[in-house]
Amino acid sequence: MVKDTIVDGFQNAPHRSLYHALGLTKEEQERPLIGIVSSYNEIVPGHMNIDKIVNAVKLGVAMAGGTPIVFPAIAVCDGIAMGHTGMKYSLITRDIIADSTEAMALAHGFDGLVMVPNCDKNVPGLLMAAARVNIPAVFVSGGPMLAGRVNGHKTSLSSMFEAVGAYAAGKIDDAELRKCEENTCPTCGSCSGMYTANSMNCLTEVLGMGLKGNGTVPAVYSARIELAKHAGMQIMELVRKNIRPRDIMTPAAFRNALTADMALGCSTNSMLHLPAIANECGITLDLDMANEISEKTPNLCHLAPAGPTYMEDLNEAGGVYAVLKELAKPGLIDTSVMTCTGKTLAENIENADIKDTSVIRTVDDPYSKTGGIAVLRGNLAPDGCVVKRSAVAPEMLKHEGPARVFDSEEEAIDAIYSGKIVKGDVVVIRYEGPSGGPGMREMLSPTSAIAGMGLGKDVALITDGRFSGATRGASIGHISPEAAKGGLIAYVRNGDIISIDIPAYSIELKVGESEIEKRKSSVSIKKHSDLRGCLARYAEQVSSADRGAIINRS
């Protein structure tokens, strides 16, 4: 065991003395040392219950003969950080989490890790760390929030942001807005739609790093505590068998994850996180794989914001395993892959079944024959851009209109709320990319404002930034190359015609080459002059979005 290099022998007596300082008995020191990475805090609703999850994991580890030791990981609430400078810090925490977890795990010689994340960057950050340190690991998240209830209808955070747009348009009054804000987020947990946190927790099951129900059992259910105990027990099995993350997260596992992503209708942020996690495994995920897989993968779920169902509904309908079993029927999933259960995926899903076809459709009756996400290319995004196709209204799958250009999210929001955006427009928000933002802010506020003001079926939005999983509509992000790196989006002008054809995977700026070259010689790329600390370091080192916004280690 890794721990033995720290504990055994006379030369390690100083180390053992420090274990005694922790109150660890000789017997505890002789057992496998299991690190429990806790992302508990009191500012993120998805993390406020994680102390209970961690305690349950500790019990499971101890019951199975291990010594549990807790250390922390940070987490940012994207909802609270949304629409201001705080969002610049969200994506960068993915690498901070991975780096700090790597440091803690390897500095202290843990034999195994139980990762307890929940929200947007926390899950991929810890998956990156698991791949990097490559000691046995299992994931158990804090679980999803229950859906809210407003005027007799289920609701979630995306509805809340859209209510702000409706209020600005005079469609609802103060009392209705207050009713929404007091009833939309009723429990702890990750926000209840198929947003980024829930997308990544579901994909953790698909990748084989989380037990059944990790992505869907609600945070407030006692079954979540039982799941945490089982995760604590299961890490001991993985340690005994020496099954490691890179044994589980193979190329086949990542193809499974992309396939399930398409069927579930996951957040576009998965197109940032899956390549970044794969990179830590020494695997390259090309964005074009997404379209290849999407072409043959039916979209089986329409969870909020794409439809009227929520994570609790997916859980009751059979969960992720039911989706995987349905995808396995036509051979879309490789079921031979190893998982953290110590069994193959085929063994895991053997008894899974769809219990409600209004939540999980069959492959013979999908919402669409193609997957939930599409990667578009064209002169405006030669390296690609991403759209959540399953959340786009049919009338906006093809759209051509004049550009309305803004150099920041704040400028765009002001224009939307002041009525300057009209039907047919293509809102362009630039200098919000990984380097140009920096931090690639999510654009939930402007997309929700567009939807709330009744323009969701008439206006497109494109950006070199990214979108929250709560975004719906013709919202196209990750434009690569970004404006700050000289991408064509930097040279778009008001009134330029932009053509979007999602079924054809195409996005084009209808401006001649000679005019584009003229603009390139006369327009200066905007540069940051006031960055400090981790933002400055990130802006200098981060890759483009099409590579997963990974840190360039060279």
Catalytic residues: 468
Phi and psi angles of residue 122, each rounded to the nearest 5 degrees, phi first: -65, -45
Which ranges constitute the DSSP H helices of 329-455?
345-349, 409-417, 444-452
Other Cβ atoms less than 10 A from the Cβ of 149: the count is: 12
Burial of 530 (C-beta count, 10 Å sphere; 0-12/13-18/19+): exposed
Residues 6+ apart with CB under 8 A from 87: 78, 81, 439, 441, 442
Phi and psi angles of residue 267, each rounded to the nearest 5 degrees, phi first: -65, 145
Other Cβ atoms less than 10 A from the Cβ of 491: the count is: 23
Burial 23-55 (b: 16+ CB within 10 A, else e): ebeeebbebbbbbbbbbbbeebbbbbbbbbbbb
Measured in Å, how far apart are the chain's first and last C-alpha atoms?
Answer: 32
Phi and psi angles of residue 30, each rounded to the nearest 5 degrees, phi first: -85, -10
Pairing of strands 153-155, 148-150: antiparallel
Q: Do the Cβ atoms of 281 and 240 come closer than 8 Å?
A: no
Q: Do the Cβ atoms of 322 and 360 come closer than 8 Å?
A: yes
Residues 6+ apart with CB under 8 A from 356: 313, 316, 317, 318
Phi and psi angles of residue 344, each rounded to the nearest 5 degrees, phi first: -75, 165
Other Cβ atoms less than 10 A from the Cβ of 93: the count is: 22
3-state secondary structure of 198: helix
3-state secondary structure of 477: strand
Query: Quick one: which of 264, 314, 290 has its CA closest to 377?
Result: 290
Pairing of strands 374-378, 381-387: antiparallel
Q: Do the Cβ atoms of 512 and 496 come closer than 8 Å?
A: no
The tokens describing 298, both together, are 């039916």
Helix axes 251-264 and 270-280, enclosed angle (nearest 10): 170
3-state secondary structure of 446: helix
The C-alpha atoms of residue 484 and residue 486 are separated, in whole angstroms, by 6
